[in-house]
Amino acid sequence: MEASVILPILKKKLAFLSGGKDRRSGLILTIPLCLEQTNMDELSVTLDYLLSIPSEKCKARGFTVIVDGRKSQWNVVKTVVLMLQVILVSANKLTRYIEPCQLTEDFGGTLTYDHMDWLNKRLVFEKFTKESTSLLDELALINNGTEKGSQQEKDRSVDINFLPSVDPETVLQTGHELLSELQQRRFNGSDGGVSWSPMDDELLAQPQVMKLLDSLREQYTRYQEVCRQRSKRTQLEEIQQKVMQVVNWLEGPGSEQLRTQWGIGDSIRASQALQQKHEEIESQHSEWFAVYVELNQQIAALLNAGDEEDLVELKALQQQLSDVCYRQASQLEFRQNLLQAALEFHSVAQDLSQQLDGLLGMLCVDVAPSDGASIQQTLKLLEEKLKSVDLGLQGLREKGQGLLDQISNQASWAYGKDVTTENKENVDHIQGVMEDMQLRKQRCEDMVDVRRLKMLQMVQLFKCEEDAAQAVEWLSELLDALLKTHIRLGDDAQETKVLLEKHRKFVDVAQSTYDYGRQLLQATVVLCQSLRCTSRSSGDTLPRLNRVWKQFTITSEERVHRLETAVAFHSNAEKILQECPEQAEAINEMEQFDEIEAVGKSLLDRLTVPVVYPDGTEQYFGSPSDMASTAEHIREKMKLVSLKKQQLRQPEATTTES
């Protein structure tokens, strides 16, 4: 019977154990009857409850029952006395059997008793006893089931009874508070008097509380260990489950995603699209890699604080997880590097293709340069473009070879299947691009060689034309020099002969200049035929050259004629002037004087005659003053010859008169 069940009856205080004892150490049971009619059933229930409290040892010592009928009717007292079979004793004789200190104040004693306080403590005790007993059974069931039962039974028992019906911490706290209260009331008397313990070891079974607390602590400690082991096992199972989720996804859908991505694209746009798809795959993998990092940290923490029996399993899980994640991460990195290399390869190929298109477009346009400098500039630009193409092709080969090396390292483990066929397509594409670029570059090189030859011929053509024009200029300058500076006819025969010799050398220079110009113009004709074009300058350069040369020839012949006439004049004049008058032969050759005079006059006349060219133009040697100076010198010499002639005639006249 529990106090909580009959609490309304107990509150009526129909009977109570005050905690006092008789001289035999028997407990004192007090029944305070009141004026109101006492319910015998309720009294009986109360007595049954109170008599169930003491221990068997205490019950063996008996009880002293005090029926206080002073405030009740006799028939009620009689009924109780008969029911209990007790002896009637007056109140003033109680001290014969009981010490005053064991009697309450109602019977003249000093024992203090608070029924409601006792009842509250009794309720607390019974509640603690009930909860602790039930908790002990639950904890024992949990602990024993976890330790001894099979795995299936353990799981089933844990599922049902793993959580106790009450909080062990709360029950323990209640027990400690109750034990502390009991110990305090037992050893500390009120108002410094003798201690009163209505709930001592006999009434409330303080050892029972202590025993329950000890049992609870023991079972709770075991329960905590069970919980810890179960929590660790649960955590280990959760980790194992998560590890398998990560492993299954990476080896399943994750690997399948990579398995379907093997191409490298055939252009920049295609490679970029593949990269974007790969980034999406990486994004999905990143979520699982984040779970891997978290699991790895949890496993590391368990390894640091785990038991020996768990170390092998934890390390195996950690190794399995790390192997799968690192293998998958390596595949992702390999795929990313492959796509990046493919993108760089296609980028270089596109740049090279654009360079080849530009070079081809430049070669397809006909060249119409204005001069040799522009041709040289165009040649330089062609060479630079060709060099740029060479560098681009070299870069393409390097990128292509690097990409081929990566593809050759793409073994079957990379995607979990044989990728030989796919690799062959990629390799064929890469080699095809490089071969196509090589062929295009070779065609451009051939066209550049042809264009280079043509442009060099054009440079040579322009050079020949320029040099031919220069030869005409030189010949014109020689003609001008001949007319303006080759004026003197010499003061004597010797000087005139020197001038004649110099003139012949001067003519040789002009002849070589003319021949050089003719050769250049002939070369321009050959080059024009080779280039299938017409010369811009050879059409008028040749007539100019021939015209200047004709003028020079006429002028030169006139110069030679004058010099030769001057040589004859000076030679004959000097010969006559140097002969002695005594010579009879000289006197008889007067006709020589006439010839000299005729030559001199002819020379003077020639000095006044201009050089007439085929086109009707006329040119004079030197200026009028130059011609006057030359004519004056000839006249002076003619005067000397005339004077010599007169001198020769005078002796002849004298001889005739005599």
CB 396 within 8 A of CB 435: no
Same CATH fold assignment for domains 258-414+421-451 and 486-649: yes
Residue 124 has pLDDT above 70, yes or no: yes
Q: Pick from 54-68, 203-217, 471-485, 575-589 the range whose average pLDDT is largest.
A: 471-485
For residue 196, is pLDDT > 50? no
Highest mean pLDDT among 97-111, 134-148, 392-406, 598-612: 392-406
Where in the chain are the domains? 6-113, 124-145+164-240, 258-414+421-451, 486-649
Average pLDDT over residues 341-349: 93
CA dist 600 to 54, 66, 140, 187, Å?
A: 190, 202, 167, 182
Going by pLDDT thresholds of 50, 70 and 90, the confidence category of residue 35 is low
Query: Average pLDDT in the 621-649 region?
Result: 83
Q: Do 264 and 343 meet the contact criterion of CB atoms below 8 Å apart?
A: no
Average pLDDT over all residues of the chain: 81
Does residue 165 have a pLDDT over 70? Answer: yes
**Least confident window among 269-273, 373-377, 385-389:** 373-377
Per-residue confidence (pLDDT) for residue 86, from 0 to 100: 63
Contact 179/146 with Cβ under 8 angstroms?
A: no
Q: How many CB atoms lie within 10 A of CB 87?
A: 8
pTM of the model: 0.56
Q: What class has domain 258-414+421-451?
A: mainly alpha
Question: Among 102-106, 205-209, 263-267, 496-500, which stretch is predicted with the lowest mean pLDDT?
Answer: 205-209
Confidence of residue 192 (pLDDT cuts 50, 70, 90): very low
What confidence tens digit (pLDDT) does each residue in 229-240 have?
A: 777 778 788 888
Q: Please identify, in words, the CATH class of the domain defined by 486-649.
A: mainly alpha
Residue 377 has pLDDT above 70, yes or no: yes
* Statement: residue 523 has pLDDT above 50: yes
Reported as a pLDDT band with limits 50, 70 and 90, residue 435 is very high
The closest alpha carbon to 91, from 76, 78, 104, belongs to: 104
Task: Indicate if the pLDDT at residue 419 is higher than 60.
Answer: no
CB atoms within 10 A of CB 203: 22
Q: Give residue-wise pLDDT tens across range 53-94.
A: 887 888 888 888 888 877 777 777 777 777 776 666 666 777
- In this prediction, residue 156 carries a pLDDT of 45
Residue 189 has pLDDT above 60, yes or no: no
What confidence category does residue 51 fall into, taking pLDDT thresholds of 50, 70 and 90? confident
Cα 512 from chain centroid? 73
Q: What's the rounded Cα separation, in Å, for the pair 329 and 316?
A: 20
Report the pLDDT value the prediction gives residue 102, as an integer from 0 to 100. Answer: 85
The CA distance from 310 to 3, in Å, is: 50
User: For residue 85, what pLDDT is reported?
Assistant: 64
pLDDT of residue 476: 92
Confidence of residue 636 (pLDDT cuts 50, 70, 90): confident
Region 237-254: mean pLDDT is 87
Q: Which residue has the higher pLDDT, 76 or 269?
A: 269
Residue 423 pLDDT class (50, 70, 90 cuts):
confident
- DSSP-derived secondary structure letter, 167: -
Q: Say whether pLDDT at 132 is over 80.
A: yes
Question: Of 165-169, 240-244, 652-656, which range is least confident?
Answer: 652-656
Q: Per-residue confidence at 306, pLDDT binned at 50, 70, 90?
A: low
Q: Which two tokens stand for residue 620?
A: 């004079």
Q: In the chain, what percentage of residues exceed pLDDT 70?
A: 85
* CB-facing half-sphere around the CA of 96: CA atoms within 13 A: 5
Torsions phi, psi of 165, nearest 5? -70, -25
| The pLDDT of residue 345 | 93
Q: Say if residues 618 and 611 touch (Cβ distance below 8 Å).
A: yes
pLDDT tens for each residue of 544-599: 889 999 999 999 998 899 888 888 888 888 888 776 555 445 544 567 787 888 88
Instruction: Kindly report the three-state secondary structure assignment for every residue of 188-201.
Output: CCHHHCCCCCCCCC
Instruction: Specify the pLDDT at position 87.
Output: 66
**pLDDT over 70 (residue 220):** yes
Residues contacting 181, CB < 8 A, separation 6+: 121
CA dihedral sign, ordered 274, 280, 283, 288: negative
Helices of type H across 103-205:
115-148, 151-161, 168-187
pLDDT band at 251 (very low <50, low <70, confident <90, very high): confident
Average pLDDT on 216-223 reads 86
